Chains A and B, each alone.
Chain A
Amino acid sequence: MIEGGISVGLDITWAVDWVRRSAQVIADHRVELITLDREIGDGDHGENMDRGFQAVLPKLDDLAAGSTPGDVLKLVATTLISTVGGAAGPLYGTAYLKAAAAAGGAVSLDGTAIAAILTAARDGVVSRGKAESGDKTMIDAWTPAVDAADAAAAAGVDAAGVFAAAADAAEAGAVATEPLVARKGRASYLGERSAGHRDPGAESSALLLRAAADAAAASAGA
């Protein structure tokens, strides 16, 4: 959406592009996610996430005219909940559902709105999974991302910049899960042996936020 020649926010075009890029990046990293999950979990994360996002793609074509970014987020939520199968289904499903609620009926989302959406998504994952920072879960990517997004939004950075900050922080957070001992999820059964491996949920979270940032950058450049 262009207003006075300046990109002021992220709209439905961005949201749909984000989902397509998400599906692509998850497919590209499917084997990597499976490998990470096989090391400390049940080995199905890459396959489950790929199935979930591939199931979203055809539904994008059925979006009604006048749909909002919130509608897209809700579509992703319900599809992931029904198709993913592992813990990632309810966790990501809840994240997208809470994000959709935070987006409301807004046609365009500015930096402050993006920070609010990311906060709602993270809070949804926390309430569903009961994990805390340092438990070696996707929260360890999400919480730094939310903190970075809040700081960027408070500094007046635009929506694309907020997502870029969030993606950078999520990637660093995912890497930082490597030495941690898992306290939640299937990896917690491994105890100390879970240290030395990156958490697959934190990794997929970072991938999805990077896809959002890339879509936002493309949208801002358009």
Chain B
Amino acid sequence: MAVPGKVGLLFVSHSAAIATGLVELARQMAPTATLVAAGGTDDGRIGTSFDLVSAGITEADSGSGVVVLCDLGSAILTAETALDFLDDDARARVRIVDAPLVEGGVAAAVAAEAGDPLEVVVAAAESARGAATAASAGAVSSGETADDGANIGAAASGYTRSIRLVNSDGLHARPAAELVKLASTFPQKVTVNGTDAKSLLGIMSLGLTKGAQVDISSRDLSGREAVDALAALAESGFGES
């Protein structure tokens, strides 16, 4: 059932295993979000099903909107056709997002979990485009990105806490999501090793392992509270050991 007041997600894949696997993966970081899989054909073959996609949209829709992520071409065509058959009210709150299915799905799930509105969840999914250069993938926040030189200057005049990562598995998906969720509760821009702390994909792509130095910075002192909160979370090992 769709969670009232929250954006729902629908993952459309040619493969039922990919769609349900992605729900499983995203669920790790979005335990209560509405995540629906529509993979494969009605009879379990590789392909996409108009009926499964249509039913999935309905299932994911609490009235707050649905973000649909697709894999290969015909998944998008099927989703677009399903939209054509919705009534105008329902169609107006469904977005088919052009983003990598897995990376975009996980980023959108974290935003949906946090209760973000439809357009913010869409932006989170879109932030996964070109995730290889994820340091600049902070579409969820202001989109403002410091280059390395500016960052050093900002750190000097701003506020920085440096800690060592204690998690045995490093900053993997779950703790990265915890960090992003906490950072998103502050209006100020905070960076982690120069990357926007509100960008899940940016943080995950830092690839920080146990013992890595983590510099949590704000350009100015107004971000001090946010930096301290994030540092405390990181020092606690994100509830892991």
Residues of A within 8 A of B (CB): 42, 44, 48, 81-83, 85-91, 93-94, 128-129, 184-186
Contacts and interface: CB of A to CB of B under 8 A. Distances in A.
Nearest to A97: B84
Nearest to B72: A186
A85 B41 contact: yes
| Closest CB pairs A-B (n = 7) | A85-B47, A87-B74, A90-B77, A90-B81, A85-B41, A81-B50, A82-B50
A interface, by DSSP: helix, strand, loop or mixed? helix
Contact of A82 (B46, B51, B80, B84): B51
B78 interface: yes
Interface in B26-52: 41-42, 45-51
B98 to A, nearest CB: 12
Contacts of B73: 87, 184-186
A39 B9 CA distance: 35
Interface of B: 41-42, 45-51, 72-74, 77-78, 80-81, 84
Contact of B50 (A44, A89, A184): A89
B74 A90 contact: yes
5 contacts: A48-B47, A85-B49, A89-B81, A93-B81, A128-B77
A90 B50 contact: yes
A209 to B, nearest CB: 21
Contacts of A186: 72-73
A81 B81 contact: yes
A128 B81 contact: yes
Most chain B CB within 10 A, of A83, A85, A88, A129, is at: A85
A86 B50 contact: no
A89 B46 contact: no
A184 B72 CA distance: 11
B54 to A, nearest CB: 9
